[in-house]
Amino acid sequence: MAMIEIKALNKWYGEFHVLKDVSETVEQGEVLVICGPSGSGKSTLIRCVNRLEEYQKGTILIEGKDIHDPDVDVNELRTHIGIVFQQFNLYPHLSVLKNISLAPIKVKKTPRAEAEEVALALLERVGIHDQAHKYPAELSGGQQQRVAIARALAMKPKIMLFDEPTSALDPEMINEVLNVMKDLARDGMTMLCVTHEMGFAREVADRVIFMDGGLIIEEGAPQAFFSNPKHERTQAFLREIL
């Protein structure tokens, strides 16, 4: 059974048709990179997967279960699907440790000591265990984004969604975040990554998807996608960004 199955997904913002019959299957452990021009629907697509956005037509199944079934608890669904945004969205008034341990304590009722132990282990994993007692504003952008990833991982998700996680970072901090994402991919996490970091895509993506105008225009294994893009719009896009 696929981890994620998106079938003929359609979404409108008012009159505006933002996702047009998007279908995609993602197996457990697969890493998909989604690229495409601004406004093509990339964020909207991945936000539908954890129901941060509602859609009007089509189906999304997670491990075979329709996320729109009446018995699906959205909060529970989101514990299985972590998301990391361009803007790190940390709680500014909470320490790094509390940012990471808050949801496990509140949502999963994990005992505080255990949640903090897990948080420290995750900080170790993302390479900033020495920052646990600082506040987000005291960290660099790259460190904040690594906290955001650790926070999402604290819920032990099956799927991680990334929405341009390095776009707001200074160039020297991009790799520290990409390296954490690469580790996650190697550990077998199922990942949907909206990113224009094509080096990352070449190295870790199983498939690269190019979206334009709410459609998947082209997709393929990175090797074929980059060396021999079929569609003229993909070629033009790659010329722009590479």
Question: Which of ligand ADP, Mg ion, none is residue 41 near (CB under 5 to 8 Å by kind)?
Answer: ligand ADP
43 vs 144, which CB is nearer to Mg ion?
43
From candidates 1, 13, 56, 241, binder to ligand ADP by CB under 6 A: 13
Q: Is 145 in the site for Mg ion (CB under 5 A)?
A: no
d(CA 228, CA 133) in angstroms, rounded, equals 48
3-state SS, residue 174: helix
Closest by CA to 10, choosing from 70, 72, 58, 45, is: 58
Which one of 22, 42, 147, 205 is in contact with ligand ADP (CB under 6 A)? 42
Using CA atoms, how far apart are residues 79 and 153, in angstroms rounded to an integer?
Answer: 9
Cα–Cα distance, 94 to 91 (Å, whole number): 6
Binding-site member from 1, 25, 27, 39 for ligand ADP (CB under 6 A): 39
Residue range at the interface with Mg ion (CB under 5 A); choices 22-30, 41-49, 123-131, 146-154: 41-49
Q: Is 40 in the site for Mg ion (CB under 5 A)?
A: no
Choose which of 40, 144, 166, 190 interacts with ligand ADP (CB under 6 A).
40
Write the DSSP assignment of 118-156 as a string of letters: HHHHHHHHTT-GGGTTS-GGGS-HHHHHHHHHHHHHTT-
| CB of 81 or CB of 115, closer to ligand ADP | 81
Is 87 one of the binding residues for ligand ADP (CB under 6 A)? Answer: no
Maximum C-alpha span of the chain: 55
Left, alpha or beta for 227 (phi > 0: left; psi -120 to 50: alpha)?
Answer: alpha
Q: Does 43 bind Mg ion (CB under 5 A)?
A: yes
**Residue number, nearest CB to Mg ion:** 43
- Residue ranges that bind ligand ADP, judged by CB under 6 A: 13, 16, 18, 36, 38-44
